[in-house]
Structure 1
Amino acid sequence: MLEVITGVVLAASAGLNAYIPMLGLGLLSRFTDLVELPGGWAWLENGWCMGILGVLLLVEVLVDKFPALDSVNDILQTVVRPASGGMVFAAGAASDTVAVSDPAAFVQSGQVWPIVVGVVVALIPHALKSFARPVLNVLTGGAAAPVTSAAEDAGSVALVILAVVVPVVALLLLIGIIIFLIVRLRRALAARRARRGEQAAANVTPAAS
């Protein structure tokens, strides 16, 4: 059960930032005793691979802080984030971590399904993020972009670490983040409707007089 929670949390983290969980697993496996990746995913701790992921992460972090560019980035990441979610779900759930010491039964249950589940899980926070960001940018004149992006990056890092060490706590944090994203999206949509209503009323008033 813990291996499934670890995989789910890692996949959700990828929905916020595609590269943080992949790089995080590689770093934790190579430089700590917290993660031991299975043979099929050992490439994540390769130096060249981590270097490339680090560069991609830097680009993602910078681009995601600018309004308009962040929305374009979200469109491009519609493929990357779910793909990353599928990979980290499979890799994380099959890893030997401090919380999961016998993932063999999970791995033997099928090699494709963990990836499919990870893709679906990653799509949820990605979709919430992609829908909410443009609305927030319009309502705040772009001021929300860097703050929101930084919070999402911090949440992704926290999810990766907790997923490896204390998966149940990570799951609770994930639930909190999903609720926060949903509430933020609903408030942003309500504010946009209110603004449109005010603009419509302002346009009608002069014509009536």
Structure 2
Amino acid sequence: MLDALSLGAGLSWASGLRLYLTVLLAGVLQRFGVIHLPDTLAVLSSPWVIGAAAVLTVAEFLADKVPAFDSLWDAVHTFIRIPAGALLAAGALGHADPALLTVAALAGGTLAGSAHLAKAGTRALINLSPEPFSNWVASSAEDGLVFIGLALALLVPVLFLALMAGFLLFASWVLPRLWRGVQGGFRGMATHMVSRLGSFGSKHD
């Protein structure tokens, strides 16, 4: 049960950052016998699923490196990553009691949503800066986090679950501040644009 909980938490959390990379890694590892997924997640090792996940992983990798477009990508994937995280968490428990599967799905959706919102909020703040390098560094760090997180979830489940508990506490503290920062940043940009337009219009009167 501990391994199943760690697997579900790892898949759901990682899907909030990189859904397609998470599915690809889980499918490939299962395909080559490195890990054993429950029957409810065996479809991830299908060649069709692996192929589709690989194509989408490349697309997401490229989209995530383009400032501003990455925020649009994140906005669209709000409706994809969180439900996927809930499904992966429930699937990790296999054929468990329906009540337990419901709890797992809710917990998985919460983990995926927290990771996704933290990622999206951070990247939105970074995108307020005109230079692209911080965006690339943040994107690459997220790629690395997925690899490290899934490795810990599979190899050191107790440590990973403890880290996830800490992550949820941190997310509950930082997400409201991120939201206020993003709102303030966009209000500042809007004010700056209005003042620029006003000065431009006054020069042509």
TM-score range, shorter chain: 0.7 to 0.9
Query: Partners of 2:167 and 2:40 in 1: how far apart?
Result: 31
Q: Which residue matches 1:49? A: 49
Amino acid at match of 2:124: P
Q: Which residue matches 1:97? A: none
Q: Which residue matches 1:98? A: none
Contact 2:41 2:88 in 1 (8 A): no
Corresponding position: 1:60 with 2:60: yes
Amino acid at match of 1:145: N
* Identity among equivalent pairs (%): 29
Q: Which residue matches 1:108? A: 97
Q: Say which of 132, 135, 145 aligns to 1:145.
A: 135
Q: Which residue matches 2:125? A: 135
Change (3 A) 1:6 1:60: same
Change (3 A) 1:52 1:20: same
Q: CA RMSD in A?
A: 3.0
Query: Partners of 2:7 and 2:58 in 1: how far apart?
Result: 25
Query: Partners of 1:124 and 1:74 in 2: how far apart?
Result: 13
Change (3 A) 1:54 1:177: farther
**Residue 49 (structure 1) shift:** 0.8
Query: Partners of 1:42 and 1:6 in 2: how far apart?
Result: 14
Query: Partners of 2:132 and 2:165 in 1: how far apart?
Result: 27
Structure 1 moving runs of 4+ over 6 Å: none
**Residue 174 (structure 1) shift:** 4.3
Task: Give the TM-score of the pair, scaled to structure 2.
Answer: 0.75
Query: Partners of 1:84 and 1:173 in 2: how far apart?
Result: 21
Contact 1:14 1:84 in 2 (8 A): yes
Q: Which residue matches 1:9? A: 10
Query: Partners of 1:85 and 1:21 in 2: how far apart?
Result: 10
